[in-house]
Amino acid sequence: MAKEERPKAVLVAVKLPETTDAEFASGLEELGRLVATLGYDAVATVTQTRTHLASGAVLGEGKLEELSELTGGTGRVEGFVVQKKDKARLRREEAAGFAEEDRSDAEEVDPSTLPHGKIALIAVDHDISPSQARNLEKATGVDVLDRTGVIVDIFHRHAKSREARLQVEIARLTYTAPRLRESPSGKERQQGKGAGEAALELDRRKIRDRIAELREELEAIQKNQSVRRAHRREARRVALVGYTNAGKSSLMRALTGSEVYVENKLFATLDTTVRALHPEVKPRILVSDTVGFIKKLPHDLVASFKSTLDEALEASLLLHIVDGSDPAWETQGDVTKEVLAEIGADAVPYQLVFNKRDRIDEETRAQLARRYPDAWFVSAHEPSDVTELHGKIVAFFAASYVAREFVVPYTRQALIHEMHETGRVAREDYGEAGITVLFESDKEAVERIAAKL
């Protein structure tokens, strides 16, 4: 079977003294998955142990050469050889003053004939400065993205709702602005030195204005949403939170019978969805699916997704979904808890749920259960587990329900209807004075009925 040809990427990481071997390996593995989510095949990894990132181009000289051999670059930050047809490279050629003829020669070179000419991206597992990125690009002749850049690109691609798109656009512009460089088009060069810089300043200002505009639009949408949320306030709400790919959307589907998007991709979900628990219970319980977390989640993104996560803040129960089959589950769990604390959601009642139970061996499961005696274990793919989870959610809320008997006059039957809507009617007896009803719900709902009688 012919495998689909995907652009190739090289992963680059520096092992710093504060990082353990295991953390380093799992960080790289995750970067590989992030890059795959963007549509690349990670074909090679270049790593180096250093006390800090090289200020010039992240890696030391020797490693930089090694990397450039893979990509067909010069390995040097200053000066370079034309080797492949590529817009960014042509722009750089122009900047360096290559003659027209040189460029047309270069265009005849078939990139696939170069040793590793098809490498299209270098992904660096650190946050690097714009100049480090530029230097790496110069030395390797290939586009460079750091971890934040990769995540921002994924968010950009997956954002669907107007709100998510606005949030991502703000984060993306914030990320891009300092990375803008002079575009050395012929026209600007003719205008002489300085014109490029002025254009750059103009571009930056345009970006700032655009960000302000987007923020305003976003605020308007969010105001609207908080109104909608207020309408839902009386309902019991469960929020599914957790690391990306833990299986939140799969559980959401199973628990609510809805068709939310599930994909073996990082950040498949960017929008919060809210649906009623299914089979339906009275009073109604709402479940929300939220955006996943990741290690070193860029701060701009945390900030811009805060409103999405308000959903979690307003929940009455947080189900923290952990992929128990992932060897890195513990760090992933910690990251989730940190972000929850950061947005102030650590005050919401919390339940740990290990998902993908079908992929956890019995011994590991027993160990986890000993360590976390209160944790729940489920597989989103196992209907009986889902039924059990459904029952546990209902029981969590039912524990705080109260039951009270009311006698409703025949002229006030609308109240009976309201009771069916907002709780459980455990008994209905039709007598002479009216209908005697045993009503069960949360205290507020019971009080509301009492106040009307």
Residues at the interface with Mg ion (CB under 5 A) = 249, 268-269
The residue ranges that bind ligand GTP (CB under 6 A) are 244-250, 262-264, 266-269, 292, 355-356, 358-359, 379-381
Work out what residue 245 binds among Mg ion, ligand GTP, none; the CB cut-off runs from 5 to 8 Å by kind.
ligand GTP
**What is the closest distance, in whole angstroms, from the C-beta atom of residue 339 to ligand GTP in the complex?**
12
User: What does 133 bind: Mg ion, ligand GTP, none (CB cut-off 5 to 8 Å by kind)?
Assistant: none
Rounded distance between C-alpha atoms, residue 430 and residue 424, angstroms: 17
Report the C-alpha gap between 124 and 14 in whole angstroms: 9
| Distance of closest approach, residue 19 Cβ to ligand GTP, in angstroms | 24
Nearer Cβ to ligand GTP (10/266): 266
**Of ligand GTP, Mg ion, none, which one sits near residue 404, judging by CB under 5 to 8 A according to partner kind?**
none
Nearer to ligand GTP, 155 or 406 (CB): 155
In order, the DSSP letters of 384-413 are HHHHHHHHHHHHHHHTT-EEEEEEE-GGGT
| Residue closer to ligand GTP, measured from CB, 120 or 266 | 266
Q: N- to C-terminal Cα distance for the chain?
A: 72
CB of 131 vs Mg ion, minimal distance in Å: 36
Structural tokens at position 25: 């390996």
Q: Name the one residue in this structure whose structure tokens are 């990125």.
A: 133
> Binds 435, which of Mg ion, ligand GTP, none (CB < 5 to 8 A, cut-off by type)?
none
Residue 197 tokens read as: 């810089």
Nearer to ligand GTP, 136 or 268 (CB): 268
The residue among 321 and 437 lying less far from ligand GTP, judged by its C-beta, is 321
How wide is the angle at C-alpha 257 spanned by C-alphas 253 and 259, nearest 5°? 60
Please identify, using beta-carbon distances, which residue of 218 and 255 lies nearer to ligand GTP: 255
Please state the closest distance from residue 263 (CB atom) to Mg ion, in A. 8
HSE-up (13 A, CA, CB side) for residue 427: 9
Q: From the list Mg ion, ligand GTP, none, which binds 206 (C-beta under 5 to 8 Å, kind-based)?
A: none
CB neighbour class for 200 (10 Å; exposed up to 12, middle 13-18, buried from 19): middle
How far apart are CB 352 and ligand GTP at their closest, in Å?
Answer: 15
| CB-CB contact of 65 with 32 (8 Å) | no
Q: How far is the CB of 250 from ligand GTP (least distance, A)?
A: 3
In the complex, least distance from residue 169 CB atom to Mg ion, rounded to whole angstroms: 21
**Nearest Cα residue to 318 out of 352, 285, 293:** 352
What ranges in 108-161 are assigned the alpha helix state H? 130-140, 147-158
Residue 263 interacts with, from Mg ion, ligand GTP, none (CB under 5-8 Å by kind): ligand GTP
Q: Which structure tokens are listed for 70?
A: 């893979």
Element (H, E) at 119: strand 119-124
Residue of minimal CB distance from ligand GTP?
292
Nearest residue to Mg ion, by Cβ distance, number only:
269
CB 181 within 8 Å of CB 199: no
Residue 250 interacting entry, from Mg ion, ligand GTP, none, C-beta within 5 to 8 Å by type: ligand GTP
Nearest partner of 59 among 70, 48, 44, judged by Cα: 48
Per the DSSP assignment, residues forming a β-bridge with 275 are 287
Measured from the CB of residue 290, what is the shortest distance to Mg ion in angstroms?
8
Q: Please choose which of ligand GTP, Mg ion, none residue 266 contacts, taking the beta carbon within 5 to 8 angstroms, the exact cut-off set by kind.
A: ligand GTP
